[in-house]
Amino acid sequence: MAFLFGANRRQKQPTDIARSIKDLLRRLWNEPPSPKVDEELGRQMAQMKLIVQGTPEVECSPEQVQQLVQCIIQEDILFDLARSIRKLPFEARKDAQIIFAHILRWKPANGRSSEPAISYLVSKRPEIIVELCRGYEHPESALPCGTILRQAIMQDSITAIILYDESKPGERAVQISEVDVRRQETCQGLFWNFFNWINKGSFEVSADAFNTFRDILTRHKTMVAQYLSTNFEEFFSRYNTLLIQSDSYVTKRQSIKLLGEILLDRANYNVMTAYVDRGEHLKLCMNLLKDDRKMVQYEGFHVFKVFVANPNKSTAVQRILINNRDRLLKFLPKFLEDRTDDDQFTDEKSFLVRQIELLPSEPADSRPQPVGGVGVGAVA
């Protein structure tokens, strides 16, 4: 790969490039801003990208990639890079994203071991994952960090770090061996920051943070089902308040859709039964049906149907549906009636109408249920 670095001078080795980048990243933090440092850092990052990615004409050298990965791990350069992405020049930020992607999925030629970079992140340096998440605190690093994170959380161990880390900046991050899935979180850890990153970020940051949030909650179903069950009260309190009732149309719509996916996933059966047991959750959902935006109404319908179709409705849920029976029976047949080409939606509406018609005149189960809020108003 001499063509990468010029034929008339000694080819710079991957380890030399890695160590040069480590030194330049240190200078980026410890010295006043310097165009020369930015320029040299951009050049070195571009060279590192060529080593791991190659070009359309020339494939990368497995030997050089192995040297580079080993040096990056030994020198802890992934941590330096993760915390510095926001300070990098624009092109170097894009190169950092590509470098991370290749290094995280790289395996030795024998293929006998798992990805060494992933193993290093999990067992030795979970702080790298923490720094990548905190990239959402800065618009310059949010999108490249988000892209890297969504690749990393394909590994369940990386997702566990995000869910269970409660470290403060500068502190040691959680170790996998320390995770106790039965212990309720303080709800002040790394994962809980996503609610603010989604709700308070710019449009681009919010959308990217939501994509990562969604992947965290849907990729590793057994782990997440346990997490949601253990932290049910605080999670859905924040989810309903900050996301479902967000002022952002995009956040609101995506959050309602994700809620429906979570509730309808078999792995989350216990979470679903707990959620649809609450009268206040039904009230929130019924208000979505009255929203003046059709897609919010449509996504809200797919949550509402879970309450109505549940054969073991709580007393609180039955009472709300019974009290609103007449209004619902007038409202549902005309609800989004322009969706004439959606046969499944039409069938589901008809099913819900039949279920509401069959409700008893009084709640059939007098079990006490935790119900919050005030009386429900008319749906239509």
Q: Say if residues 191 and 162 touch (Cβ distance below 8 Å).
A: yes
- Is residue 247 assigned to a domain? no
- Is residue 76 assigned to a domain? yes
pLDDT tens across 223-264, in order?
999 999 999 999 999 999 999 999 999 999 999 999 999 999
CA nearest neighbour of 336 among 351, 349, 353:
349
- Is residue 20 assigned to a domain? yes
Last residue of a domain, one of 61, 94, 114: 114
Which DSSP string do the residues of 344-355 spell out, in sequence order? Answer: HHHHHHHHHHHH
CA nearest neighbour of 190 among 100, 103, 126, 241:
126
Total domains in the chain come to: 2
Which residue positions in the chain have pLDDT lower than 70? 1-11, 111-113, 365-380
Residue-level pLDDT at 10:
54
For residue 264, what are the CA distances in angstroms to 17, 75, 155, 261? Answer: 50, 45, 23, 5
- Is residue 288 assigned to a domain? yes
- Is residue 104 assigned to a domain? yes
- Is residue 96 assigned to a domain? yes
Q: Say if residues 255 and 246 touch (Cβ distance below 8 Å).
A: yes
CA nearest neighbour of 356 among 295, 304, 279:
304
Last residue of a domain, one of 114, 137, 157: 114
Phi–psi pair at 180, nearest 5 degrees: -120, 105
86: CATH: 1.25.10.10
AA identity, residue 293 = R
Residue-level pLDDT at 370:
43
- Is residue 12 assigned to a domain? yes
CA nearest neighbour of 88 among 53, 54, 37:
37
**HEC states along 67-117?**
HHHHHHHHCCHHHHHHHHHHHCCHHHHHHHHHHHHHHHHCCCCCCCCCCHH
- Is residue 322 assigned to a domain? yes
3-state secondary structure of 252: helix
Residue-level pLDDT at 366:
43
Counting Cα atoms < 13 Å in the Cβ hemisphere of 189 gives: 21
Burial group, residue 45, by CB count within 10 angstroms (0-12, 13-18, 19+): buried
Structural domain harbouring 49: 1-114
Q: Say if residues 101 and 151 touch (Cβ distance below 8 Å).
A: yes
Residue-level pLDDT at 379:
39
DSSP single-letter state for residue 60: P
Which pTM does this prediction carry? 0.90
Last residue of a domain, one of 95, 114, 133: 114
